[in-house]
A and B are shown apart, each in its own frame.
Chain A
């Protein structure tokens, strides 16, 4: 149960970083931490105590495998997270070129 609570704390740190900070790079970092926490939570739910990895071995039957379904879902989610991070970084570089700052309130002020 402590593992779940630590995972929630990690999620809260990421949420705090996204909502409170005003630098775009800090917001990207916060989104990354939130994504890590969600991925970790999925895999924690599928873990079996003293289990084995979901890969069959030659000439033996394995009865106590961990749950492979969350691992399959998270595997696609990791690569999507990388692509989304690259997209946000591209937008941030473009904004820096246009406004000369990473501060979101200044960007809002210069609109129009």
Chain B
């Protein structure tokens, strides 16, 4: 029950984040969505994810506020709104059609299909010695995923440094 209330709160905060005109208020509303997600992870029995989502949300909020603060915004008028709205509704309708066909195939809420994970739970302690099964999965059974994640993070840091840096631009005066 509390999970449904929390999801409803997240939906309302997301609508507020999309519709508010002021950008700083919008960023703070999306922070409310992220913190609600952190609480939802805690209710869904995923404490690792709750801790990570909490701290990541704080850092994300600081970065977004850095982007929006001290920027006086010209008022954005909506031109060509009919075409934009029509294409948006088309994409959402497409997604909803696929979701309607996929919904009966999903496992019922609260009864997961655990073919692979049951083996991880049974043999995790014997094979790795770690009592936190999530840590055992991400760093022992499925380390390739973590290696790919490390590569993506490295590439993102390189990308930010390359986009922001000023040295080496001779033509720009």
Contacts and interface: CB of A to CB of B under 8 A. Distances in A.
Direct contact between A and B in the complex (CB less than 8 angstroms)?
A: yes
B99 interface: yes
Interface string A13-31: 1111101111101101110
Nearest to A85: B60
Contacts of A91: 163
Contact of A20 (B56, B73, B88): B88
A22 B67 CA distance: 16
A10 B108 CA distance: 20
A39 B48 CA distance: 13
A76 B67 contact: no
Contact of A87 (B99, B131, B156): B156
Contact of B47 (A22, A53, A105): A53
Nearest to B67: A89
Interface in A1-56: 1-4, 6-17, 19-23, 25-26, 28-30, 32-33, 36, 39-40, 43-49, 51-56
B167 interface: no
A111 B106 CA distance: 46
Given A3-B3, A48-B111, A78 B30 contact: no
Interface of A: 1-4, 6-17, 19-23, 25-26, 28-30, 32-33, 36, 39-40, 43-49, 51-56, 65-69, 71-76, 78-87, 89-94, 96, 101-103, 105
